[in-house]
Amino acid sequence: MTRERLYLYDTTLRDGQQTQGVDFSAADKVKIARALDALGIDYIEGGWPGANPTDSDFFRQAPKLKRATFTAFGMTKRSGRSAANDDVLAEVVNAGTGAVCLVGKTHDYHVEMALGISLDENLANIRESVAHLVAQGREAIFDAEHFFDGWKANPDYALACLDAAMEGGARWVVLCDTNGGTLPADVGAITAAVTAHIPGTHVGIHTHNDTENAVANTLAAVDAGARQIQGTLNGLGERCGNANLCSIIPTLMLKSPYRERFDIGVSEDGLKELRRASHLLDEVLNRQPDRHAPYVGAAAFAHKAGLHASAIIKDPSTYEHVDPDMVGNQRVIPMSNQAGRSNLLRRLGDAGIEVDRDDPRLGHLLAAVKEREDQGFAYDSAEASFNLLARRMLGCLPVFFEIDRYRVSIERRYNALGERVTASEAVVAVHVDGERMISASESIDPVTHQDQGPVNALALALQKDLGRYQEYIDDLRLVDFKVRIIGAGTEAVTRVLLDSSDDTGEVWSTVGVSANIVDASFQALEDAIVTKLIRMKAPAVRMAVHG
C-alpha cells in the first residue's frame, strides 16, 4: 500500500481561545505557536485578526515559524458588497499569513435564519471570498460550519457549499461538526459521501467533544478519506472541547492501520516532545495537567492492580498498548493497599533501592505500608514519602536533622484602622548534628502582603536555618497542597499531600496524616525537605535506626 500524507491543523489559539476562562495574551500565543511548530504541526491557526485587540497584536508580532504555515481565521464576506470591499475580511487578509481559513454556513436553515440571506447568495459569498484569497496568493481553507447537521437537513445544498469553495480555488474544505453532536457512524458515512464527490486530499475534519467522540469522529473521517485533521492541544475548546491532537497524533503514528498507511509532519523525536507541549499549554493556562490524559498524562501508564503489576514486570506489553517511552512518558507502578510484593520490588527498583526478592524485610515493609495506609497515608500519590518509609525499614534512611519542637499561632483581630486582619507566626527548633537552631517566621505574601496561614509560616521557619544543610534547600519550593479529611466524627483524620519542586523542575510528592491538620502538613513538609537533601546527595549525619 502506498503511504499517504495526513495534514495536521492546530486551532488551539483560535477555537481553543473560545473556551470560557481562557484568555491568551499575545506572548502566550507566541510561546504556544513555537511549540506547535517544533512539534511538526502543518497549519497553526493564530486567531481572528481584527476580532479583538489581542489577536490583532499577535498577528502584528507574528512569530517566525520554521515549518508550519501560519494561518489567519475569519468569515466569508457579507452580502451586498464585494470580497475586496468587506472590511472584516480585509483585516483577515491584511494579516499577511500564508494560509487563510474562512468559516461559512452550509446548513440551509442557518443561512436563512441566522444570516437572513438566500441560499444562492450564500453560495456566491463562499465562492467569491475564496477566490479573493486565491487572487491574493493565499492558500485558502473553507471551514464548513454545521456541515453534518446541514447534510442531514439538505445534503445537496451542503455539498453545493463545498463545491462553491472548490470552484473559488480552495485548497481544503473542512467538514465541521460545530455543535459536536454527530456520532462516529454518521461522520464516517457522510464524509465518505463527500469524498466520493470531492477528492479526500482536499477534505478536512473538525470535531467537538460534546458526546466524548471527538477523537473517534476524527478517525472515522480519516477512514472515510479526509486528509486534514483540525484539533487542539489537550482538546482545549468551547463547551466540551475540540478534538484532542495529543491523543490523535500518537494514535496515527503508533497504531494500526494508521501507522502503516499515513505519514504526518511529526517525527519520532517530535512525538517524544508531545507531552511537553501538552504541559506547556497547562502552564500557560495555570492548570493542573490531567493525570489521566491518554498517552501524555502522568497516570496514562500507571498500574495499580497487583495482578497487572506482576505481569508488567514479566512483559510490559501485557498491560500496555504502546511503549510509554515513544510518547515521552513513563511507566508508574504506584504503591497502594492493592499492591503486592512484585509491585513493591518494582517501586523500590525505581527509587534506586536494591533488595533481594526473598529479603524478609520486604514482608515488614509491605505490612508497614498497609498499616499506614489504613491510618490514611496514601503512598500511591506520595512516592517520595514511600521512598523514605522504605529506606527507614531497610536501614538506608539518612538522618540530616531532627525536629525538637515547633509552635505556630494564628490570630485574627482588628487593627488600628478597624480592619480585620489575620497573622500567622511559627517557631521551629531543630538539631543538626548536636547543634541546636531555632528560627521564627511570619507568613506574609511578598506581593499581596496578606497572611498565608500556618503551613506557610512553618515552611518558612523550617527552611530558614538548617545549618550546614541550608545551601542544599535554597531552591526548594512548595508547588501544590491538597487536603482531604478521611473518616468522620472522632475518628476523622486529615491527610495532606504536598508537591515540592526545585530548579530542576522535577516534582516530588509527600504525605502527612494526623487529626491535627497543621501537624499533618508539617509531616509532609519534613518529608519534602529530607527528600530534597537525598536528591542533592547531602552528606548525612548518620543512618536512621529502624525501630
Return the C-alpha torsion angle 251, 253, 254, 258, nearest 10: 70
Which triple of cell numbers denotes residue 409? 499561632
Is position 157 an interface residue for a second copy (rule: CB under 8 A)?
no
Q: Compute the least distance from the CB of residue 246 to a second copy, in Å.
A: 9
Q: Please tell me whether residue 447 adopts helix, strand or coil conformation.
A: coil
Q: What is the DSSP letter of 359?
A: -
The strand pair at 203-206 and 435-442 is best described as unpaired
Residues 478-537 that bind a second copy (CB under 8 A): 479-490, 492, 494, 514-519, 522
CB of 482 vs a second copy, minimal distance in Å: 6
136 binds a second copy (CB under 8 A): no
Of the candidates 4, 118, 135, 181, which one interacts with a second copy according to CB under 8 A? 181
Cβ distance to a second copy smaller for residue 69 or 207: 207
List the one residue out of 368, 370, 331, 326 whose CA is nearest residue 349: 331
Binding-site member from 215, 253, 348, 369 for a second copy (CB under 8 A): 215
Query: Which one of 405, 449, 471, 504 is in contact with a second copy (CB under 8 A)?
Result: 405
Query: What's the rounded Cα separation, in Å, for the pair 47 and 16?
Result: 10
Among positions 339-398, residues that touch a second copy (CB under 8 A) are 373-374, 378, 380-381
What values do phi and psi take at 197, rounded to 5? -110, -40
Q: Are strands 493-501 and 477-486 parallel, antiparallel or unpaired?
A: antiparallel
* Count of residues of this chain found to bind a second copy when the rule CB under 8 A is applied: 125
| Distant-in-sequence, close-in-space partners of 132: CB < 8 Å, separation ≥ 6 | 77, 83, 84, 89, 93
According to the binding rule CB under 8 A, does residue 399 interact with a second copy? no
Q: What does residue 11 show for φ and ψ, rounded to 5 degrees? A: -120, 25
| Minimal distance, residue 215 CB to a second copy, in Å | 4
Judged by CB under 8 A, does residue 334 bind a second copy? yes
The one segment of 215-223, 263-271, 352-360, 393-401 that binds a second copy by CB under 8 A: 215-223
Q: Of 270-289, which residues contact a second copy (CB under 8 A)?
A: 286, 288
Contacts of a second copy in 422-461 (CB under 8 A): 422, 424, 443, 445, 447-448, 450-455
Does residue 257 have a cis peptide bond before it, meaning omega lies within 30 degrees of 0?
A: yes
Nearer Cβ to a second copy, position 56 or 136? 56
- Mark the segment that binds a second copy (CB under 8 A) among 5-13, 155-163, 475-483, 532-540: 475-483
Out of 69, 76, 122, 247, the only residue in the binding site for a second copy (CB under 8 A) is 247
Interface pick for a second copy out of 413, 417, 419, 505 (rule CB under 8 A): 413
Largest CA distance in the chain: 90
Residue 452's region, left for phi above 0, alpha for psi from -120 to 50, else beta, is alpha
**Could you say which residues in the range 67-86 bind a second copy, by CB under 8 A?**
75
| Binds a second copy by CB under 8 A, chosen from 1, 2, 20, 360 | 20
Compare residues 69 and 209 and give the one whose CB is closer to a second copy.
209
Binding to a second copy (CB under 8 A) within 110-129 occurs at: 110, 113-114
Q: Does residue 412 touch a second copy according to CB under 8 A?
A: yes
Question: CB–CB of 170/202 below 8 Å?
Answer: yes
- The closest alpha carbon to 482, from 496, 464, 465, 494, belongs to 496
Residue 231 CB partners (closer than 8 Å, separation 6+): 8, 9, 10, 11, 206, 207, 214, 218, 242, 243, 244, 245, 248
Q: Exactly one of 223, 350, 433, 465 binds a second copy (CB under 8 A); which one?
A: 223
> With respect to a second copy, which residue has the nearer C-beta, 140 or 497?
497
